[in-house]
Amino acid sequence: MAGQTLIPAGDFRTSYAADTTVFPTTTSRNAMIAGIALICLAPHVVNEYVLSLLIQIGIFGIAALGLNIVVGFTGQISIGHAAFFGFGAFTSAYLSNRFGIPVFFCIPLAGAVTAAVGLVFGLPAARLKGLYLAIATLAAQYILLDFFARAEWFTGGSVPASAEPFSIFGYMLRGDKQYFYVVLAYVVVCYLLVTNLIRSRDGRALVAVRDHYLSAEIMGINLTKYRTLSFGLAAFFAGVGGALYAHYNQVVSNEGFGIDRSIIFLAMIIIGGLGSIMGTLMGTAFMVLLPESMEWLSVALRDSPIDQFLGLKNNIAFLREMAIGLIIIIFLVFEPDGLAHRWRQIKAYWKLYPFSH
């Protein structure tokens, strides 16, 4: 089956291996490899601004992937993801500053420490579900933020903590161009990991918990274990994303890990598509570009009557916030399955073109 270049018009899969394969055809595998190779060229082609956007998409994409495990695949609700993202950032900075651990090891270590914290905050998930869980994670968000403000030994309190630049085997990486490859490597590894996780026994257990938790329990899936595990996994990816964010900015301040960031993470996976791995990346790209497009809009409309009436330039922050809220509502009402669903429809349309029915 894997030898085929195009998907046949119908289901001809005869083995489990064929059913769970990552790339259904050789064309799709080659296209993915070519795509990654093409992105590798990006730092030499695009300017600084576009490059910084690409890096942000990568970093937030990893964190959003974690959130998609807990929300999209396991069906639990988490409104405190940004706090874990922040925890990863502070942990990585702390580990490299305090213990002199090379940044190369700090990033996965930060992920592991954040995963442990995620497991602790995931414990309520063993007993609670739905709304109660949503509110418990909201409390986790506020408690962790309070901890950041309080624990000066860990975060530096009101003074932002500094984070070492990324280095590998004594070779210091400087500038966005080199850091881009670090982020790209992490994105590829994380996305491959999660793709394979979902194909595995544990991944299927997570999906079963989402689809019908009572049936899942009857089938012998340990609900407590998998619900808590999903929070740990989500926190792991949030921690890795946060650590990458810390070493990208090289300072970690207390701001930017609040509830509004959590909402943006949720928006990313809803717009991308709940329970879709590639959709997560699409949604992240969408949510990173949306506030920027508001900026472009305000520049384009400068000194026009609309601008004078609304005062766009001075209120750009509010415009961004509103755009985020509005886009979430629009997607939920009109396209609840997200961009991934739209992408599948486009593919299905072209597969049978010109005989679409």
Which spans of this chain sit near another protein (rule: CB under 8 A)?
71, 75, 77, 79, 124, 127-128, 130-132, 134-136, 138-140, 142-143, 146, 149-150, 214, 217-218, 260, 263, 266-267, 270, 274, 315, 318-319, 321-322, 324-326, 328-329, 332-333, 336
Quote the least distance from Cβ 77 to another protein, whole Å.
5
CA dist 237 → 10, 190, 244, 347 (Å):
36, 8, 11, 29
Output 45 or 329, the one with its CB closest to another protein: 329
Quote the least distance from Cβ 345 to another protein, whole Å.
20
Output 202 or 337, the one with its CB closest to another protein: 337
Dihedral over Cα of 290, 294, 296, 297: its sign? positive
Output 13 or 320, the one with its CB closest to another protein: 320
Output 115 or 271, the one with its CB closest to another protein: 271
Quote the least distance from Cβ 333 to another protein, whole Å.
5
SS3 266: helix
Output 315 or 345, the one with its CB closest to another protein: 315
Quote the least distance from Cβ 292 to another protein, whole Å.
17
Cα–Cα dist 30/38, whole Å = 12
CA dist 284 → 8, 10, 55, 101, 177 (Å):
31, 32, 11, 31, 21
Nearest to 284 by CA among 305, 270, 298: 270
**Token pair 């409390």 is at which residue?**
139
Output 9 or 329, the one with its CB closest to another protein: 329
Nearest to 247 by CA among 168, 150, 189: 168
Cα–Cα dist 45/47, whole Å = 7
Output 42 or 259, the one with its CB closest to another protein: 259
Quote the least distance from Cβ 334 to another protein, whole Å.
9
CB atoms within 10 A of CB 46: 14
Output 244 or 270, the one with its CB closest to another protein: 270
Count of alpha carbons within 13 angstroms of residue 240, beta-carbon side: 26
Contact 57, 287 (CB under 8 A): no
Output 35 or 325, the one with its CB closest to another protein: 325
Six token digits for residue 180: 């881009």
Nearest to 77 by CA among 175, 181, 210, 276: 210
Q: What's the longest Cα–Cα distance across the chain?
A: 66
Quote the least distance from Cβ 326 to another protein, whole Å.
6
Q: What is the DSSP letter of 158?
A: T
Quote the least distance from Cβ 332 to another protein, whole Å.
5
Cα–Cα dist 302/295, whole Å = 11
Quote the least distance from Cβ 128 to another protein, whole Å.
6
Quote the least distance from Cβ 227 to another protein, whole Å.
14
Contact 83, 144 (CB under 8 A): yes
